[in-house]
Structure 1
Amino acid sequence: MRNKARVAVYTGSFDPVTLGHLNVIERASKLFDELVVGIGLNSEKQALFTSDEKVELLEAVVAPFNNVRVATFTGLAVSFVRQCGSCVMVRGVRPLTDIAGEFTMLMANRQLDSDIETVFLMADEHYSHVSSSLIKQIALLSDDDKLAKFVPHPVIAPLRAKMQGSRLKTNEP
């Protein structure tokens, strides 16, 4: 009998994808036969990037990993995990800042589907402070070399273009 592939799913908004996200993706890709990076779509949130742009950026940064694919989803993350043929959800956590929220999400997910296990990967110390909110602030104030300490290179130009566009919109009369 052939062993079933171990598939895991890493969900998030990835708006934008950061080096912290990429660190979790790289490490999770080594633990599982296949990793699905699921971009959750929430129409109630004001996203910087469209879902198509997020897919394009994520596909560019995960290209080196032959066992990683990118997909979008709406609805519950546990339902998406099942649709991917998995029972493992990967979550990246930063020291202390994410623990309470992630624990609450874990308990809710167990109520929704008790067969799905959550695997937490602590962010590498270099990325434990990186968040998408912080990136948006840094992008306005730093040069490309500094920004490259927080986001993958393929994200820099699109992020700058988005931030310039949003800056123009907020300065319009």
Structure 2
Amino acid sequence: MERICLFPGTFDPITLGHTDVIDRALDLFDELVVGIGTNSTKTPMFPVEQRIRWIKDIYSHSPKVKVVTYEGLTINFCKEINARFILRGIRGIADFEYEKAIADVNRMMDSKVETIFLSCTPKYSTIASSLVRDVLRYGGDASQLLPEKVLNSIKSTI
């Protein structure tokens, strides 16, 4: 049975923290689906098409990485794509408590889908997309926060 894993998020934008988790998870799964979820409580800074393009560009060398968008419950989307695993990056204790609650509810809804937590590499543990958006919004230097392809793309549109 193929080990398909969903890494859900808004990826607005994809950060070095996200790529750290993806890169380290690649050896664990046969296929890693980066799922850009629609969150009704968030207004994205970047259009979904741009976020898809960034992820595809970054992982163009890796046939294991797929990028899709989805709406609704993550656990239901796992069923659609036959994912038996959900990947979540953990920056610290607060992330763990929040993510564990979600994992517990997901397990109640479908006990066949397991959530895998990967802790971030320490140098990326403070990076959050919301902080990156603030840095970008106010003209700060995001070079230590974003993959080069994303940074170059944003600079070319400014």
Q: Work out whether the TM-score is over 0.5.
A: yes
2:129 equivalent in structure 1: 132
Does 2:116 align with 1:119? yes
Would the aligned equivalents of 1:8 and 1:87 in 2 still touch at CA under 8 Å? yes
Residues 9-39 of structure 1 deviation map (CA, whole Å, 9 limit, x = unaligned): 1111100000000011111111111111100
CA distance in structure 2 between the aligned counterparts of 1:107 and 1:9, rounded to whole angstroms:
16
Q: Which residue of 2 aligns with 1:55?
A: 52
SS at match of 1:108: helix
**Matched residue, 1:151:** 146
TM-score with structure 1 length normalisation? Answer: 0.84
Q: Which runs of 4+ in 1 moved over 4 A?
A: none
1:161: Cα distance to partner?
6.8
Matched residue type, 2:55: L
Q: TM-score, length-normalised on structure 2?
A: 0.91
Distance 1:101 1:6, change over 3 A: same
Match of 1:167 in 2: none
Aligned to 2:74: 77
* Cα offset, 1:118, TM superposition: 0.4
Whether 1:24 and 2:18 are equivalent positions in the alignment is: no
1:34 corresponds to which letter in structure 2?
A: E
Q: Kindly tell me the number of residue pairs found equivalent between the two proteins.
A: 157
Pick from 4, 7, 12 the counterpart of residue 7 of structure 1: 4
Deviation, structure 1 residue 112: 1.6
Matched AA of 1:114: S
On the 8 A contact 1:26/1:65 being kept in 2, the answer is no
Structure 2 gap segments, 5+ residues each: none
What residue number does 1:169 align with?
none
- 1:39-87 Cα shifts (integer Å, max 9, x gaps): 0012442111121111111111122322111111000101111111121
**Aligned to 2:105, which of 87, 103, 108?**
108
The higher relative CO (CA closer than 8 Å, separation ≥ 6) is in 2
Q: Distance in 1 between matches of 2:134 and 2:76?
A: 33
Q: 1:138 to 1:118 in 2, by over 3 A?
A: same
After superposition, the Cα gap between the structure-2 partners of 1:115 and 1:134, relative to the gap in structure 1 and judged at 3 Å, is: same
Which residue of the other structure, out of 124, 140, 143, is the alignment partner of 1:142?
140
RMSD: 1.7
CA distance in structure 2 between the aligned counterparts of 1:137 and 1:97, rounded to whole angstroms: 21
2:66 is paired with a residue of what secondary structure? strand
Report SS of the residue matched to 2:100: helix
One-letter amino acid matched to 2:93: L
